[in-house]
Amino acid sequence: MFVVVLNGTVGGHMRSRERNSESAAQDRAPYTTQDSMRKLRMMYCGSLRSRKPPLQRQFLVLLMVLTLISLGALMLPQMKANPKPYTWMVDRSHIELVHSYVRSMLLKECRPAFARREMEARFNHSSQVTEYFLWRDTPLTTPMLQYPPPFGFRDLQGKLKDILSLLPRSIPQKHDGRACHRCVVVGNGGVLRGLALGHLIDQFDTVIRLNSGPVRDFSKDVGNRTDIRMSYPEGTPRTWDDVDPNLQFVAVVYKSVDFNWLKAMITREGVSLWDWLFFWQKVPDRVPLRLSQFRILNPEIIRETALDLLHLPEPQSRIWGWDQNVPTIGVSALNLATYLCDEVSLAGFGYNLSQEGVPLHYYDSLPMASMLQQPMHNVDRERTLLQQLAEAGVISDLTGGVHCSFCAK
C-alpha cells in the first residue's frame, strides 16, 4: 500500500527547522531583532516554496498515484476468473436424451449451404458480407468505416491499416476436402454441466469456442478440440488451454485500445502501461500463437447481427460506453458460423433469467442473475432470435437451453 503524506512530515520538519533557527539566532548575538525577523521571514517563505511543488510536478504525482491504483485493481481476482473442476448432478435419462439427439444430428446427411441460404431467406440484409476476416489485402469498404467499434472502424483507419500490414494476405478457409461442413458453436452456459457431451462435440467438423471458456478439466462435458476461438482482449484466456496446431484466434475489436493490445500479441511485445488503464479487467500479456493463426473479425458481421438479425437501434456516438445494442459474442459467432459452415449447431446456449440461482457458466459458480447487471446486451431479444431459428430448424440446439426439440412436450 502506498501512502502519500501531504502535511504531517513536511510541517514537522518546517517547525523543527524554525525552532532550531530561533535558538541559533539567540546564541549568535549581536544580531538585531530586525535582522532576526528578516531571516525568519526568508526561512518561512523558503519552506512554503518547498512545500508547494510546481503544477507540473503535482500532475505527475497524481498520474502516478492513479496508475498504481489502477494496476492494483487489475491485479485483483476477476469474478473467479481461474476456473476449477466442479461436481454437478444431472438426471441420467436427460443425459441419454441429449446424447441420442446429438448422435442423430451427426448421422443425418449434411445439406450444403443450408444455414446461409436459410438466413438470407428470412432476413433482409442491408449489405452483403463478402469477407468474414480482414487481411493485408482486404479493401476497406464504406460500410466498414461507417460506425464506431464494434460495428465498424470509424476514425480508426490509421490503426486498422497498421494492424493489417502485419497480417498475411487472404488465406482460403480450409474444409479438409469435405463437400459439406458441420460446425458447433460452444457457448459457456451452465447448461453444459454434467452432460458428458465432450466426445460428441469433438466429432463436429469445426468447433468454435467463445472468450475464455476452458477445456482443461472440463473436456468430459465440452470436448477438447478448438478450431476457432473468438474473443476480445478482456475475454481472452489468460491461461491458454488450446493445443490444436491449426487453431484460429478471431479477435473482435470493441474499442480503439483493442488494436494496441492485438498488435502487442502479434508482435510479441509488451502491453504499454498506458494501455492497461483502458481495459476493464486484466488482459493476457501473451497469446502463444503464430502470426498465421490470428484473424480480425470483419465488423460487418457484428453490424449485421445487431441491425439485420436482432433489429437493435442504430449505433450512436457516445463519450463513454455503449447503448444496449451490442450483440453478445455468442450470437455474433453464430452469424459468422453461417458463413463458414453448411450446417450450424449450438451447445451451451440459453440464459433463463427466471432461475437466478442457476450457474451462469459451466466452469464457475456465478449466478444467472449476474447477467441482469450488464448494460450492453439485449438478452431477451437474442433469446427470441435463437428460439425462432431453432424452432424453424435453421440451427440445432444440442443442449436444449434455447429450444429443446428432444424434451417431452
- What does the pLDDT look like over 245-258, one tens digit per residue? 999 999 999 999 99
Quick: pLDDT tens for 363-403.
987 776 666 555 577 888 999 999 999 999 999 999 999 99
Q: Which of 152, 163, 165, 116 is nearest to 301 (CA)?
A: 152
The sheet carrying 206-210 orders its strands as 133-134, 294-297, 248-251, 228-231, 206-210, 182-186, 343-347, 396-397
Strands (E), 280-356: 294-297, 343-347
| pLDDT at res. 55 | 60
Q: Is 309:297 a contact under the CB 8 Å cutoff?
A: no
| pLDDT at res. 21 | 40
Q: Is 205:178 a contact under the CB 8 Å cutoff?
A: yes
What average pLDDT does the chain have? 80
Three-class secondary structure of residue 207 per DSSP? strand
Percent of all residues in the chain with a pLDDT value above 70, rounded to a whole number: 71
Quick: pLDDT tens for 3-42.
333 344 434 444 443 434 433 333 333 344 444 444 444 4
Instruction: Tell me, yes or no, if the pTM score tops 0.85.
Output: no
| pLDDT at res. 90 | 82
Judging by DSSP bridges, how do beta strands 343-347 and 182-186 pair with one another?
parallel
| pLDDT at res. 364 | 85
DSSP annotation of 234 reads: G
Quick: pLDDT tens for 254-274.
999 999 999 999 999 989 999
Q: Crossing angle for the helix pair 329-340 and 379-391, nearest 10 degrees?
A: 30
Quick: pLDDT tens for 191-216.
999 999 999 999 999 999 999 999 99
For the ranges 80-94, 130-144, 160-174, the lowest mean pLDDT is seen at 80-94
Q: Is 302:314 a contact under the CB 8 Å cutoff?
A: no
CA–CA separation, 255 and 48 (whole Å): 45
Q: Long-range contacts of range 404-409, CB-CB < 8 Å, 24 or more positions apart? A: 405/101, 406/97, 406/98, 406/100, 406/101, 407/97
| pLDDT at res. 286 | 94
Residues 6+ apart with CB under 8 A from 110: 179, 180, 181, 182, 342, 343
Q: Which of 250, 290, 283, 249 is nearest to 268 (CA)?
A: 290
